[in-house]
Amino acid sequence: MAKLRYRLTSWKLIPRSLNGSALRRAAGGFLPIQARCASECEPGLRHSLARRACIRSCLRKSPSSARLTSVETPLTYCFGAHMSIAGGLHLAAERAGELGCDCVQIFTKNNNQWNCKPITSAEATQFRETVAKLKLQSAIAHTSYLINLASPDDLLWRKSIDALVVEWQRAEQLELSGLVLHPGAHMTSTPEEGIARIIEAVRKAVNVTQPKMCRLLLENTAGQGSALGWQFDQLGKLLRGIDLPSHVGTCFDTCHAFAAGYDFRTASGLKSMLKTFDEQVGLQHLYAIHINDSKKGCGSRVDRHEHIGHGEIGEQGLTLFLKAKHIKSLPMFLETEKGIDEASGQEWDAINLSALRKLVGRQEQ
C-alpha cells in the first residue's frame, strides 16, 4: 500500500496531496485525532486537544500502512465561549453551535450551590453526541466559585475537596478535556500556607477521582483579595508541588494576567511575559485560554472582564497575544458579559467572536 503523507486539519488526518474542495470532502472520511485519543493515548493524554505530545503519541501508534510523518497545529484558530446549561447540558453545546463557536466551556452544575443532581447516562450521552454532531473541537468546564482549596478553615477545605471530586467526576462522565479551577484564596493564613493546602487538596482529589481523560487546569488569577495564582511563580510552585503533569495543567486568562501586572500590549512586553511564564510555569503545561479584555488597568488586581477591543488591553494587545506561536494553537474561550448590544441588536458573544476572528484575519464561517 502506498505510504501517504498527512497533515492535521480540523483535528482530522487528511492526505497532504489534497487541497481545496477535495480537501473539504475528505475531511469527513478520516478518524479524528480526538477519537483516536479516546482508546490509544497514554493516561492523562486522552482528549488533550491542541497538544502536540498527545498527537505524536497517537501517530506513533497508527498502522504502519499509513505512515503519518508530520505533525502540525490546526489550520484555523479555535474560538468559543462559556455557555449556559439552562434547560439541559446539551443545550450549551447547541447554543455554541448556533453562534458558530469552535469550542465550548460550561458549568456542569449550578456554580452558586454545593449540591447537585447526578448526571444521568442519557444526559451525558446527549451532551457528547451534540458536541460531536456540531464538531466542537474542545469542550471544557469551569468549577464552582464556592470551592476554596487554600482555605485555612478545615471544614470549608474538606468541603471544597469533596466538591472538586464531584465536579471532576462529572467532567469525566461528559468526556471533557479540561476542568478549570481558581486555585483558591489563603484568607487569614499566609500565601505559603495556602499553596501547601492547595497542593495537598489537589493530590487528594486525584487519588479519589482517578481521572482518565479530563485534566484539571489551574487558572491564573487577577490577585484580587487574597486569591493565589496571580503571580506565575505561584502557579509554578503549585504544579511542581502537585507533580502530576498527566492530570494537572494550567489555563491562562488574559484579563487576569493584565490585571495582575503583566503588560503584554507591546511585542517586547508579550515576549517578556511568555518568557517568564515558561520559566516559572512551563508553556508545555498550558492547555486552554480565557480570552477577555479588561475593564481595569494593568496591575489593578481587579477582575473585571470587558468585551474584545473595548477594554484596557485593546485590539493591539490582544492581536499580539493571539498570534503568539505558543498561544494560537490552543482552544480559546470568551468569558465576557452576555446580552444584546443595543447599537447593533446583536448578541455580544457573536460580536466578540467576530472581533477575535477579524484580529487574526480569519474569515467568518
Answer yes or no: is pLDDT of 11 > 60.
Answer: no
Q: What is the CATH number of domain 78-359?
A: 3.20.20.150
Q: Give the model's pLDDT for residue 354.
A: 97
Residue-wise DSSP of 245-313:
TTTEEEEEEHHHHHHTT---SSHHHHHHHHHHHHHHT-GGGEEEEE--EESS-TT-----EE-TTSSSS
CA-to-CA separations, 110 to 89, 107, 251, 286, in angstroms, rounded: 11, 7, 21, 27
Q: Give the model's pLDDT for residue 74.
A: 42
Answer yes or no: is pLDDT of 7 > 60.
Answer: no
Confidence of residue 76 (pLDDT cuts 50, 70, 90): confident
CB 295 within 8 A of CB 313: no
Confidence of residue 99 (pLDDT cuts 50, 70, 90): very high
Q: What is the pLDDT of residues 118-127, one digit of tens each?
A: 999 999 999 9
Answer yes or no: is pLDDT of 130 > 50.
Answer: yes
Q: Give the model's pLDDT for residue 57.
A: 43
- Measured between alpha carbons, how far is 209 from 215 in angstroms, rounded to an integer? 11
Bigger pLDDT: 9 vs 218: 218
Q: Give the model's pLDDT for residue 101.
A: 98
Q: Give the model's pLDDT for residue 353.
A: 98
Answer yes or no: is pLDDT of 302 > 80.
Answer: yes
Q: Give the model's pLDDT for residue 261.
A: 98
Q: What is the pLDDT of residues 29-73, one digit of tens each?
A: 333 333 334 333 444 433 334 344 454 444 444 433 333 333 333
CB 5 within 8 A of CB 16: yes
Q: Give the model's pLDDT for residue 171.
A: 98
CA-derived radius of gyration, the chain:
20
Q: What is the pLDDT of residues 148-195, one digit of tens each?
A: 999 999 999 999 999 999 999 999 999 999 999 999 999 999 999 999
CA-to-CA separations, 360 to 104, 154, 345, 350, 364, in angstroms, rounded: 19, 47, 24, 16, 11
C-alpha cell at 359: 484580529
Q: Give the model's pLDDT for residue 362.
A: 61
Lowest-confidence range among 13-17, 191-195, 199-203, 242-246? Answer: 13-17
Q: What is the pLDDT of residues 252-269, one digit of tens each?
A: 999 999 999 999 999 999
Confidence of residue 346 (pLDDT cuts 50, 70, 90): very high
- Measured between alpha carbons, how far is 327 from 250 in angstroms, rounded to an integer? 13
Domain ranges for the chain: 6-60, 78-359
pTM: 0.81
- Nearest CA to 37 among 4, 65, 69, 8? 8
Q: Give the model's pLDDT for residue 159.
A: 98
